[in-house]
Structure 1
Amino acid sequence: MTASGSRPLATVSLFSGVAGIEQGLAAAGVSDVAWFCERWDAARAVLAARYADVEVKDDVTAIKDFDGAALVTAGFPCTDLSQAGLTQGLAGVNSGLVIGVLEKIAAYRPDWVLLENVPNMLHLGRGAAMNRIVSDLENAGYAWAYRVVDSRFAGLAQRRRRVFLLASRVMDPARILLGEDHGEPEPDQQATAFGFSWTEGNRGVGWAVGATPTLKGGTTVRVASPPAIWLPGERVGRQIVRPSIEAAESLQGLEPGWTSPAPERDRWKLVGNAVSVPVARWIGGRLARRSELREAFEDGVLLAEGAGWPAAARGTSDGKRWAVDVSEFPCGPVLEQVQDLGGLLTRYGSEPLSWRATKGFRDRLRASSLRYRADFMAALDAHVDHMAAARTTE
């Protein structure tokens, strides 16, 4: 039973990955997974090990119906929607799979739908992907709301911005998703760790105070754009590091070792593609209180036809749409759940960033017009020298 006393919603999970959404919803007591659907063998290995009694289907296009499920979840592929991806939008072979899912939603009409993807979908092709998604939902009789959230609101030491869209044909979901707003917190003046993206340096740094930049999926044993972390208080040689895979899992709210049933070469991609568990838990907690959150949500400014998509919006099945002014931080984290990035690395491990990676980033940054802290550049110089000396003695 959920906190509100209602029974968990029978749920089917599409594009399941390693079940970040489902872990969060289950932790809130709102979801009972009937089956998963995931085609990647590495993710299927994790699901089989962690959910031994739950069926894992392998082809979303072959699904005939949802077996009467009340909730359908889909963290569908971002390959064609992300800035670093193919930018084909829903015309792409991977992200476009959601169109078939929307057709099945219209046919079998689950009470609730929860989708997740990257914020770039709001802007790519003038927001064509989001327009297609909400238009299909409206035509199927659903009210909807979406919001860009930053995983740091849930206490994670990772700056991860994602769009979550909640739709329902039984009530207005806007109060559930948009009814809380904490506002973006002030920067942590006591931070002892700073994240950055070492593959950047020309046009950006990915700077994050007390957190890492977004963990991203890739095609090799390491993520395509893995985070690096500057620890000013550590000795030279240990100031510029990368998190271990277990630390990265923790940064997603996954149990350290969660992806270990998969081949080692695939674990970073699995973690980078995952949905942050505590974010899904917050949505689940709100959804568990749905009977208390039925009061009409009237905030917002009516969106003009052709207007760009804002960071948060809501709409009704009759096609009316409103922009809603809320932050990416729905609530503040429980203090004891806030991750300390330095402490997390101490517990789960890290490794020095290589000489080549550090030097490449430093040289690009120095040649750019980007602003950076002088002591950060000094730390990069010291790390390059230290790693170069280590190379000559190997």
Structure 2
Amino acid sequence: MRIASLFTGIGGLELGLARAGHRAVLACEIWSPARAVLAARLPDAHLHADVTTLADLPGDTELLTAGFPCQDLSQAGRTLGIGGTRSGLVGHVFRLLDERAIPVVVLENVSFMLSLDRGAAMHRLAGAFEERGYRWAYRTIDAQAFLPQRRARVFLVATRSDLDPADVLFQGDVAMPPSSTTLASHAHGFYWTEGTRGLGWAPDAVPTLKNGSTVGIPSPPAILRTDGVIVKPDLRDAERLQGFPADWTRPAEEVARASLRWALVGNAVSVPVAEWLGERLRDPRPHETERDGPWPTGRGSWPRAARFDGTTRHAVRIGAYPVFLEREPLERFLEHPGTPLSARGTAGFLSRAEASSLRFAPGFLDAVRRHLAARRGERDAALAA
């Protein structure tokens, strides 16, 4: 299908769809570092800067994609809701659909929007599609099904064609294989900037890559390696943890500081999830209606998966892993050594962790203390020299 893409970012959704045979003809993105990446990586797509000035979509558009801004919907963001200045831009999706009814629409956003403001974002999105005669289905999918990054996102497919969105999204449902990791056998990811209320602990994986700061302050996770060293992953490995080729975002440095590449990566759609979706769009399979359940009443949040068949809304019993691909351990996946977490960063994390009531894996805090002692020793030796 020919794709018109809104809020394109660095093209993760479009790259994945392209690997499944689809093609972007329009990419709309306002942030200049991301547009620099798109100009280099999606050279055949027409670039438009501002969705608010986009009057219409190309006449041959068959698929509209929109990974609309999540800042107002995310737990890590401002949680202003769907009416916030950034996330409210999704309204332009429906303005453009009113100009041209595109047969298939794909939206992507954070899973927190299912519960924020008692599901207000989903009420608005679902209602807007239903008013325009679309059937819809959505599913929470975790990128860890494909890569060693824990990243749950909602993918919504809406259609005004013979294609049933349930036949696209509800294929495959597997359990995550049981894990027997230890600090000695596998690397473990966590948020070194946390430690008071949460940790983001991820055995043999990293927690969700974040977008960092709009002023270019990176926010990579930490990885405790089996040798006891705590590192922040190299940016090239962060790109790979999203499914991009290494250095995919390098063109951004032509217009912005290099540190902003972390925000570009953290905001992106994971490529292999998009590829899986693209393959399902090409090869839909009948939805197993026995997965359907009654629509929940008296609760604020929406189900983790659901569908609207044109008449009735159904909750759908299906998990976040359509597959669980075999992969090499995280420590071998990483192609670059990363940067050891500094003494200052380690000390700050340790002080928060020790003062918290969080429970930690056996030996974890001791490993952090040993890393801190090693970093302080290196610092003192450098000062003495």
User: Does residue 113 of the first structure (1) align with residue 105 of the second (2)?
Assistant: yes
Kindly indicate whether the alpha-carbon contact (under 8 Å) linking 1:15 and 1:74 is maintained by their aligned counterparts in 2: yes
Shift of 1:55: 1.5
Kindly indicate whether the alpha-carbon contact (under 8 Å) linking 1:195 and 1:208 is maintained by their aligned counterparts in 2: yes
Shift of 1:360: 1.0
Kindly indicate whether the alpha-carbon contact (under 8 Å) linking 1:20 and 1:277 is maintained by their aligned counterparts in 2: yes
The equivalent residue for 1:140 is 132
User: Does residue 261 of the first structure (1) align with residue 251 of the second (2)?
Assistant: yes
Kindly indicate whether the alpha-carbon contact (under 8 Å) linking 1:184 and 1:327 is maintained by their aligned counterparts in 2: no
Deviations 1:305-357 (A, max 9, x none): 56430111111333x21111111101121x3xx24311133x23311011111
The equivalent residue for 2:359 is 371
Shift of 1:187: 2.1
The equivalent residue for 2:336 is 348
Alignment TM-score, normalising by the size of structure 2: 0.93
Kindly indicate whether the alpha-carbon contact (under 8 Å) linking 1:362 and 1:380 is maintained by their aligned counterparts in 2: yes
Counterparts of 1:252 and 1:286, CA distance in 2: 20
Q: How does 1:83-122 map to 2 (within 5 A)?
A: 83-122=75-114
Counterpart of 2:322 in structure 1: which amino acid?
Answer: P
The equivalent residue for 1:218 is 212
- Candidates 182, 188, 196, aligned match of 1:194: 188
Counterparts of 1:88 and 1:373, CA distance in 2: 34
* 111 and 332 in structure 1: CA distance in 2 versus 1, 3 angstrom threshold: same
Q: SS of the counterpart of 1:348?
A: coil
Counterparts of 1:209 and 1:294, CA distance in 2: 35
Counterparts of 1:125 and 1:371, CA distance in 2: 30
Kindly indicate whether the alpha-carbon contact (under 8 Å) linking 1:314 and 1:322 is maintained by their aligned counterparts in 2: yes
Deviations 1:230-279 (A, max 9, x none): 112x2x5xx11110000100000000000011121210000000100000
Counterparts of 2:333 and 2:216, CA distance in 1: 21
The equivalent residue for 1:241 is 231
Q: SS of the counterpart of 2:251?
A: coil
Shift of 1:108: 1.2
Counterparts of 2:81 and 2:367, CA distance in 1: 40
User: Does residue 276 of the first structure (1) align with residue 297 of the second (2)?
Assistant: no
Counterpart of 2:149 in structure 1: which amino acid?
Answer: Q
Q: How does 1:38-49 map to 2 (within 5 A)?
A: 38-49=29-40
- Candidates 123, 127, 140, aligned match of 1:131: 123
* 377 and 305 in structure 1: CA distance in 2 versus 1, 3 angstrom threshold: closer
Kindly indicate whether the alpha-carbon contact (under 8 Å) linking 2:30 and 2:49 is maintained by their aligned counterparts in 1: yes
User: Does residue 315 of the first structure (1) align with residue 308 of the second (2)?
Assistant: yes
Counterpart of 1:381 in structure 2: which amino acid?
Answer: R
Q: How does 1:280-319 map to 2 (within 5 A)?
A: 280-290=274-284, 293-294=285-286, 297=289, 299-304=291-296, 307=299, 308-318=301-311
Counterparts of 1:54 and 1:168, CA distance in 2: 23
Deviations 1:196-232 (A, max 9, x none): 10111111111001000000002244433x2100112
Kindly indicate whether the alpha-carbon contact (under 8 Å) linking 1:215 and 1:223 is maintained by their aligned counterparts in 2: no
Q: SS of the counterpart of 2:82?
A: helix
Q: Which moved more, 1:295-304 or 1:165-174?
A: 295-304
Counterparts of 1:325 and 1:313, CA distance in 2: 8
User: Does residue 22 of the first structure (1) align with residue 48 of the second (2)?
Assistant: no
Q: SS of the counterpart of 1:186?
A: coil
Q: SS of the counterpart of 1:96?
A: helix
The equivalent residue for 1:54 is 45
Shift of 1:296: 7.3
Shift of 1:61: 1.2
Kindly indicate whether the alpha-carbon contact (under 8 Å) linking 2:296 and 2:315 is maintained by their aligned counterparts in 1: no
Deviations 1:76-101 (A, max 9, x none): 00010001212111211110000121
Alignment TM-score, normalising by the size of structure 1: 0.91
User: Does residue 329 of the first structure (1) align with residue 321 of the second (2)?
Assistant: yes
Q: SS of the counterpart of 2:222?
A: strand
Counterpart of 2:329 in structure 1: which amino acid?
Answer: D
Kindly indicate whether the alpha-carbon contact (under 8 Å) linking 2:17 and 2:278 is maintained by their aligned counterparts in 1: yes
The equivalent residue for 1:6 is none
User: Does residue 168 of the first structure (1) align with residue 163 of the second (2)?
Assistant: no
Q: SS of the counterpart of 1:133?
A: helix
User: Does residue 72 of the first structure (1) align with residue 64 of the second (2)?
Assistant: yes
* 393 and 215 in structure 1: CA distance in 2 versus 1, 3 angstrom threshold: same
Counterparts of 1:157 and 1:205, CA distance in 2: 17
Please report the RMSD computed on the Cα atoms of aligned residues, expressed in angstroms: 1.6
**How many correspondences in the alignment?**
372
Kindly indicate whether the alpha-carbon contact (under 8 Å) linking 1:78 and 1:117 is maintained by their aligned counterparts in 2: yes
* 387 and 112 in structure 1: CA distance in 2 versus 1, 3 angstrom threshold: same
Shift of 1:294: 5.0
Query: What percentage of aligned pairs have identical amino acids?
Result: 45
Shift of 1:182: 1.1
Counterpart of 1:223 in structure 2: which amino acid?
Answer: P
Counterparts of 2:298 and 2:87, CA distance in 1: 23
* 186 and 117 in structure 1: CA distance in 2 versus 1, 3 angstrom threshold: same
* 198 and 179 in structure 1: CA distance in 2 versus 1, 3 angstrom threshold: same
Counterparts of 1:369 and 1:304, CA distance in 2: 34
Shift of 1:298: 5.5
Counterpart of 1:177 in structure 2: which amino acid?
Answer: L
